[in-house]
Amino acid sequence: MYKPTRPSQRAGILLTLALLALGPNAGASAGTDSASADERPSFENCLLTRISTQLLRCDNLTGAGVPAPYWIPEQ
């Protein structure tokens, strides 16, 4: 038989779920990046271009295989 829940019981369940979701480990990262700023690739000074339908930035293919738009300059 169905027994309705009290509003205070619903509030307690919601508070518990919110605390679990936003607890101390909610923003934990999987690992740390030990590379220094000199070793990381920098894309600040590279223009986005394309080769055929592939996007290219600083000699790195990018775009996850999505066809490049026609308005991006071709190399």
| pLDDT value at residue 47 | 85
Global model pTM greater than 0.75: no
User: Taking the CB of residue 50, how many other CB atoms lie within 10 A of it?
Assistant: 20
pLDDT of residue 63: 80
Nearest to 55 by CA among 69, 38, 44, 34: 69
Measured CA to CA in angstroms, residue 22 lies from 14, 16, 26, 63 at distances of: 12, 10, 5, 33
Tell me the pLDDT of the chain (75 aa) as tens digits.
677 778 888 888 888 887 777 776 655 555 555 555 556 665 567 888 888 888 888 878 888 888 888 898 888
Rounded to an integer, what distance in angstroms lies between the CA atom of residue 46 and that of residue 75? 13
Residue 25: predicted pLDDT? 64
Q: Would you give the end-to-end CA distance of the chain in angstroms? A: 71
